[in-house]
Structure 1
Amino acid sequence: MKKCIVIGGGIAGLTSAVYLSKSGIKTEVIESKNKLGGRAYSIKDRENKTVIDNGQHILMGCYKETLKFISLINASDNFFYQRQLFIPFINSNSEIHYLEATKLFYPLNLFIGLLNHSFLNFSEKISLTTFFIKLAFSKNVDLNKLTVEEWLICEKQNENIRKTFWEIICVGTLNSGTKNASAQIFKDILKKMFLDGNFSSTLIIPQKGLSETYCQPANNYINKMGNKISLNENIIELKIENNSVTKIITDKRIIEDFDFVISAVPLTALTKFYSGDEIKNISLEYSCIISIHIWLKINKLKNKFYGLINSPIHWVFNHDDHITLVISDANYLIKKSNDEIIDMCFAELKKYIKTKREDIIDYKIIKEKSATFIPNVENLNKRQTTKTKINNLFLAGDWTDTGLPATLEGAVISGKKATDLILKTC
């Protein structure tokens, strides 16, 4: 029986291990931390006895490979599924403006939803609708040299549309603002989201912590298939002879009984134990995501989430016993103290949802400093293919060349691509 070592227990690594297990490949996952999930995990806040995520992750109906993965590990019931697109936006006067697809047939339901979006005036609604109609019929337009903002300006999206609609969509999907992100990858994402059927545009929200949602079911599946996961074990070196990995040296043992290796760790971690020509002198710029978990005396929010218009806080997620504020593209806040960040959040909450400082029981701030690579042209050109120059070494992770930004879907696709290449050699 062939055997594969998967380095890294994040979503990409777990995906590889699950599909390898399904295909009858003996598999072991080696993870350096004491928990699975990589940058998608949950912890229990001791003081408030609440499970919180290190960062809020949502899916969309267009995340086809992720949905297949969670179905395979029997985790589909861990999510809330929208029937059609529904996003409540709040402005600084605490007024709610709904972006809601109607119950009519697709794509008419989306276009009417755009025309009914009350925060835009009539000419802006026409401009936005025209943009999507043009997008539907665009084919081989090369946008690689443009930023999202430059593209939107070319498409006559005025400043108000860019600020109140496009910025929050761009930051939410790419974790990067319109001034930096590549127009090409944004265009590709928009087509998957809005032009691939009604379900693709819907949002899918985890109902449990990320560890319980993804990691535990994947762990259970891998174990059920007779394979194993080793935690708290660091990879020190990959020994390469005759252009193949022959030994894996960890801080606990030397592993020689394997046929394939998948590295499913971030680039910064990979360079610590592998120095192949394809990754030499390559570094990616990263973007921070800050999550602020807030416990309220009384939670008056009715919907599961809200987008905030023209606010440094992009999203508010409602967990009933607490709320989570999400600030994407947050490098400008990395050096700010927690006191400075929470003061800013208090001011925004007062304007947007009429929450006062005295309404807040407790809070916890989590900074994921290298949450995603910035999807600008320079970084996108540095992404590596799944197959390395080493015969039996494969790469996975959302930073590899998946054609998507650094999302859960990108991580899942990368893990499955590595598995598919291995299976072709068996």
Structure 2
Amino acid sequence: MGAKRRPRQYAAASMGGGSRTIVVGGGFAGLAAAVRLVAAGREVLVVEAAKHGGGRSRSFHDKVTGREIDNGQHLMMGCYWETLSFMRAIGVPDDALEVQSNLAMTMLKPGGARVELTCPPLPAPLHLAGGLIGMRGIGMLHRAAALRAGLLLRGEIARPDDNETCDAWLRRLGQTPPIRAAFWEPLIWAVLNDDPLVASAAMLIAVLERAFMGSRAASSLVVPRLPLSSVYVQRAVDYIEARGGEVRFASPARKLELDADGRVAGLTLKSGETVATEQIVTAVPPQVLLELLPEAAREHLVFRDVARLEASPIVNLWVTLDEPLLDRPFVGLIASPLHWLWDRDRIEAGTSGRPTAGDSLLSVTISGARGFVDDQPEALRELFLGEIARFFPRARPQIRGFRVVKEKRATISHAVGTYRRRPETQSPIPGLLLAGDWVRTGLPATIESAVQSGHDAAARVLSGR
């Protein structure tokens, strides 16, 4: 993203290695930071406001479905190197994740016709070129347009522009409406959680570089087979505690304490306890960070930029049907407000196939859901039924249960010009390091960005900088 701006420091940072490091937040970013720190022999305390870990990538028992479900279906890629490294470190078994051997996805047109992308086992980026040329369900003219964009990608990577929208970028590269609808726009909604009309092309290009320009395996999709909290939260907690760290749930942080020189001196919890420390890693959303800061600190330009970050919501529908709707783990819908449908029973069954008996649990993702996040469940139910009738005209599913999960602040918005507002890991306050998917990692706000931010913060602590 070009030259990085150096934030003005209140005083020269001193990260002395003797004191306990406090990590605020028990989601991917916070747990990743804590795991790296205890692995290096550091004393760590993790405090999490909720009764359970996971942050915005959490699971819970739902009375409507009678199942353990995620707050939304989460998707990863083979290029999530930091995330996969974190999961290996804490002992996540290989069969907890369904990993494609080659990138493949199915998009449905209204009426049910399919567009199929299947990348052949060729070295990157030839695998993508082969997949685009061989796409089924879309004309050669449109496939050639996508291939042209792929050929120009190296030049685009060299000069990303955070002030150019994805829409403008696609127009400049001559992408036709059909290939936009079938390939580019589903990708943009999935990785940027924002409308192509406003989302930054630079953030899209960052994903394309990692996913398609390195290795074939980098672009493969990775789907957790189990609810995500059960995949990583308890394993991370066990790892931390086995190495002398401490994890406290239901322990909200209230205030960052500074000494007379403006350095970190401790953290006050909602309980009234103040824990002394010289090092704090915050791994919380932007608005929560700002609430922790002393009022004077919020006036620093870095934190004023943080206050200007906007949120982009996601609405997830969990629908129990009387019979399966899909014949594969997931599909995308072209030109629909419902972006992705996931057959949870088929996903959890893995390669053994979908159980045939009983009801079917479907997860539905509406990304960048500003137009739907305030809708009542009844309206969203009608939307679901209408779209199912459009895309599956022969299906007559009966709804046994309907659950709406809204994440109003699921991610930051990646609107053009946003990246420069995202802060560096090292904050202007000596002893305070920032983590979270929204900090400046070079990536959009994804699970990978969260884990990378945690690892970056841990590296800063360990380096003494």
Distance in 1, matches of 2:32 and 2:386, equals: 41
Q: Is the 8 A contact 2:47 2:251 kept in 1?
A: yes
Query: Are the structure 2 counterparts of residues 351 and 343 from structure 1 closer, same or farther at C-alpha, using a change threshold of 3 Å?
Result: same
The equivalent residue for 2:264 is: 245
Q: Which of 303, 308, 330 pairs up with 1:279?
A: 303
Q: Gaps spanning 5+ residues in structure 2: where?
A: 1-17, 346-359
Distance in 2, matches of 1:142 and 1:106, equals: 21
Alignment of 1:200-239 (within 5 A): 200-239=218-257
Distance in 2, matches of 1:27 and 1:345, equals: 46
Query: What SS does the corresponding residue of 2:336 show, helix, strand or coil?
Result: coil
Distance in 1, matches of 2:266 and 2:191, equals: 39
Query: What SS does the corresponding residue of 1:18 show, helix, strand or coil?
Result: helix
The equivalent residue for 1:136 is: 154
| TM-score w.r.t. length of structure 2 | 0.88
Q: Which amino acid aligns with 1:201?
A: S
Q: Which amino acid aligns with 2:337?
A: P
Q: Which of 94, 100, 113 pairs up with 2:118?
A: 100
Worse-superposed segment, 351-360 or 369-378: 351-360
Worse-superposed segment, 283-292 or 349-358: 349-358
The equivalent residue for 2:329 is: 304
Alignment of 1:56-135 (within 5 A): 56-77=73-94, 78-135=96-153
Distance in 1, matches of 2:384 and 2:63, equals: 23
Distance in 2, matches of 1:293 and 1:333, equals: 15
Q: Is the 8 A contact 2:325 2:395 kept in 1?
A: no
Worse-superposed segment, 264-273 or 136-145: 136-145
Distance in 2, matches of 1:109 and 1:256, equals: 53
Aligned-pair RMSD on alpha carbons?
1.7
Query: What SS does the corresponding residue of 2:421 show, helix, strand or coil?
Result: coil
Q: Is the 8 A contact 2:123 2:215 kept in 1?
A: no
**Residue 419 (structure 1) aligned with residue 458 (structure 2):** yes
Query: What SS does the corresponding residue of 2:291 show, helix, strand or coil?
Result: coil
Worse-superposed segment, 46-55 or 195-204: 46-55
Query: 1:139 Cα shift?
Result: 4.8
Query: 1:143 Cα shift?
Result: 2.0
**Residue 45 (structure 1) aligned with residue 59 (structure 2):** no
Distance in 2, matches of 1:383 and 1:355, equals: 47
Alignment of 1:273-422 (within 5 A): 273-275=292-294, 276=297, 277=300, 278-280=302-304, 282-320=307-345, 321-354=360-393, 359-422=398-461
Worse-superposed segment, 270-279 or 30-39: 270-279
Q: Is the 8 A contact 1:247 1:255 kept in 2?
A: yes
Q: Percent identity?
A: 30
Query: Are the structure 2 counterparts of residues 170 and 38 from structure 1 closer, same or farther at C-alpha, using a change threshold of 3 Å?
Result: same
Tell me the matched-pair count: 426
Worse-superposed segment, 324-333 or 97-106: 97-106
Distance in 2, matches of 1:44 and 1:414, equals: 29
Q: Is the 8 A contact 1:346 1:356 kept in 2?
A: no
Q: Which amino acid aligns with 1:181?
A: A
1:366-396: CA deviation from partner (whole Å, max 9, x where unpaired): 1101101111233222111111122211111
Distance in 2, matches of 1:398 and 1:44, equals: 25
Distance in 2, matches of 1:188 and 1:284, equals: 20
The equivalent residue for 2:209 is: 191
1:213-261: CA deviation from partner (whole Å, max 9, x where unpaired): 1212111111111211111112121221122221211122433443311
Query: What SS does the corresponding residue of 2:315 show, helix, strand or coil?
Result: strand
